[in-house]
Amino acid sequence: MKQFQGKVAVITGGASGFGKEFAKLGAGLGMKLVLADVQEDALDATVAEFKAQGVPVIGVRVDVSKAEQVQALADAAIATFGQVNLLFNNAGVGAGGLMWENTERDWEWVLGVNLFGVIHGVRIFTPLMLAAAAKDPSFEGHIVNTASMAGLLSPPAMGVYNVSKHAVVSLSESLYQDLSLVSEQVRCSVLCPYFVPTGITQSGRNRPAGLANDAPPTRSQLVSQAMSDKAVSSGKVTAAEVAQLTFDAIRDNGFYIYSHPQQLDPVRQRFEDIIGQRNPSDPFADKPEVRAGLIAALRG
């Protein structure tokens, strides 16, 4: 997609983090915005902020794990602006702990948002883009799915999150191949950020009451939360910088988008382990003190 002026961007998780930065960049390029978020007060404030700047924008409260709500988002976008050119399947939540300690509700919440949110977005919006492309040879469409470096690696005490993001990477790669068979006008990318301060470690604030756990967090879940808080809050690359990298990739038709390309060595090591039929490498091989600290914390 080379031109953004006057085109329509739909952004889930649009009231904070990457989503809000995507919206800022899109607005600066003259795009019309359809912002979706499950946190209504933050969504209302963000929409009001853009309206005050004269940006054509609407906000729709959406729980992306619910197919009917994603369908309502698409209906609102078409009813208001007539088409969708750019879709950011961006809403996401974080959770960790030892895999066997994650409850059914943990899995339902994380996979519902991180994976099924993307599934619903792809299933509902892709046909709209392809139909628009069939009618207009000049139509350009692009889908960006937010995954994670955790979608390319398998760090410990993050299993439920890793699984959701690995699935998003695979889904996105499959979508890329499928689109290449039917259209040159609709493309896709997958965003794999590393530790970037976005607020994702506080995503439990929006966890539905019906998916809350009855028991308090386990030791491993508390340890994982503390580690994630520290890693994310100390991140030096900003959400705004990642948003710029993402728009650059959209413009250049780049598929893989990395916030920290210097962190790809562990990914290379993982694939070398797979090809060489070796057991998975120690992710803390170069930082044994981290592994020792994690073991001590988990074993008490």
Active site residue ranges: 161
Residue corresponding to tokens 């099924």: 116
Q: What DSSP line would sit under 93-160, residue for residue?
A: ----B-GGGS-HHHHHHHIIIIIHHHHHHHHHHHHHHHHHHHH-TT--EEEEEE--GGGT---TTBHH
Cα–Cα dist 205/203, whole Å: 5
Q: Are the C-beta atoms of residues 29 and 114 closer than 8 Å to each other?
A: no
Q: Is the dihedral of CA 200, 152, 145, 25 positive or negative?
A: positive
Q: Supply 74's token pair.
A: 């698409």
Beta carbons within 10 angstroms of residue 215's beta carbon: 7
**Nearest Cα residue to 73 out of 51, 88, 55:** 88
